[in-house]
Chain A
Amino acid sequence: MILKAENLCRCNMVTREPLLVEVSMHIAGGERIALSGPSGSGKTLLLRALALLDPLSAGNVFWNGSPVQGGCVPAYRAQVAYLQQQPVLQDESVESLLRQPFAWKTHAGKHFSKERLEKWLALLGRRSSFLEKRSADLSGGEKQIVALLRIIQLDPHILLLDEPTAALDADSATAVETLVADWLAESQPQRATLWVSHNAQQAQRVADRQLRIQGGRLLREEVSV
């Protein structure tokens, strides 16, 4: 299982200003990678590009050796799941939001499991009544938790996490790190994470390989730790 990106380029559609410049990278099963860089350097854009969420001006994304395009894209995104920095949730109960993806064709055959979610919620220090909450009443951090659970219950291979603990207090942040670590351990060495973090200590904890991006360019040398 391997994700390979070759020469990804993206320009602003209007101003033609380059946003991503010839980014090449790969993620293999079992890897834990951290991505850092100043604000506006293209961290989110790189994650979105890897999830094929935006049209690229050049470059290709390969999944297990084949380029991903057209009808294969939804199935690919189910394997390489991107978690938004500020999740936007419809105004519904947490449980119905979590059930939502199971209605989609890509996830046909998968089943919603409340027990599994309750186990994870316990790990995050939340009671199962959390599932009945309305998304409009959730805090920013709780929304991130819902979005994270919504993704990991679908068993993707790679998680692209865009500052998933940015809105959480220290305890909840640790809990999320544990949750992701548990999820990784569940099926080693199949799974991998790419974690965007502003916090150097967190980057140390959650990754074995550090990447840095600046002005839309991925720095060739990996930052030594």
Chain B
Amino acid sequence: MSYYALSYIDVALAAGLILINGAISIALRLKMERTLLLASVRTTVQLLLVGFVLNWIFAVDRWYLVLAMLSVMTLVAGYTAAARNDRRFPGMWLNTIVSMWVSSWLITAFALFVVLHGIGNWYQPQYAIPLLGMVLGNTLNGISVGLATLSSELALRRGEIDSALALGASRYEAALPTIRQSIRLGMMPIINSMMVVGLVSLPGMMTGQLLAGTPPVEAVKYQIMIMFLIASATALGTVAVVSLSFLRLFNRDHQFQFGLLTKKRP
């Protein structure tokens, strides 16, 4: 199968489609022109930059460069997962980054060392970077939803939790319904997408492989692997962030430290 490489002119043609958004914004006075411009510039610049960085990393092919790249990706994902939460508590950032790191690296390591044991070096950027990227991108959702649900539900159910504690429930017993709900909601999106994958959406990685000329059945095998990696990393990450946050908000004296849970300043 042949693979058609895009020229910069081809890319510019596609980028021209942004004029449609601009025209709508002007016609309906949405006042989004500036944002649109910024978004277009960011998309182009960020992707070009990453393209150059990856080109360089692929060419140099050293394990420490790959590891550095993976670490930066993990930090950004961890930061993003917590940034969207509209509540704050001491230790939230650390919890989120640790959960993101442990879950996604564990699962990606399993993929690189066990599933893809035939690839030679584990740090081959061609495998390590896109695999971790996909795992991170999805674990981010689970962690973000889990964290947001836990902190908003705990704030909402303060009275219920306090009355359980006052009646002799341990901190685990008092928080368990909320913990369960947070983990369940965190895992929901990936379960949903596992239900409809291939029927409703063709996932990005599979699309990419198809465009690159991989036979569909081969691309599908990779996609199946990736779906399970994502599902397990999301589960681990959600459980980790919910448990760590629970331990921050409930102390050893079985007290719910509601005062630590503050609203994000707008």
Contacts and interface: CB of A to CB of B under 8 A. Distances in A.
A150 B167 CA distance: 8
Contact of A104 (B162, B173, B251, B260): B173
Contacts, number: 82
A101 interface: yes
A89 B162 CA distance: 11
A37 interface: no
A88 B256 CA distance: 15
A89 B167 CA distance: 13
Contacts of B266: none
A195 interface: no
A77 B257 contact: no
B167 to A, nearest CB: 5
B29 interface: no
Interface residues of A, number: 36
B163 A147 contact: yes
A204 to B, nearest CB: 27
Nearest to A105: B170
A74 B260 contact: no
Contact of B253 (A69, A88, A89, A103): A69
Interface in A81-114: 81-84, 86-90, 100-101, 103-107
A151 B167 contact: yes
B255 interface: yes
B160 A55 contact: no
A13 B169 contact: no
A140 to B, nearest CB: 13
Contact of B168 (A12, A14, A101): A101
Interface string A54-73: 11000000000000011101
Given A74-B254, A101-B168, 16 more contacts: A12-B259, A14-B259, A52-B254, A52-B255, A55-B257, A70-B253, A75-B168, A77-B165, A82-B166, A84-B163, A88-B163, A89-B160, A100-B164, A101-B167, A101-B169, A104-B173
A53 interface: yes
B168 A87 contact: no
Contacts of A104: 167-170, 173
B162 A74 contact: no
B251 A55 contact: yes
Contacts of A75: 168
9 contacts: A74-B169, A75-B168, A77-B254, A84-B166, A87-B159, A89-B160, A101-B169, A104-B167, A104-B168
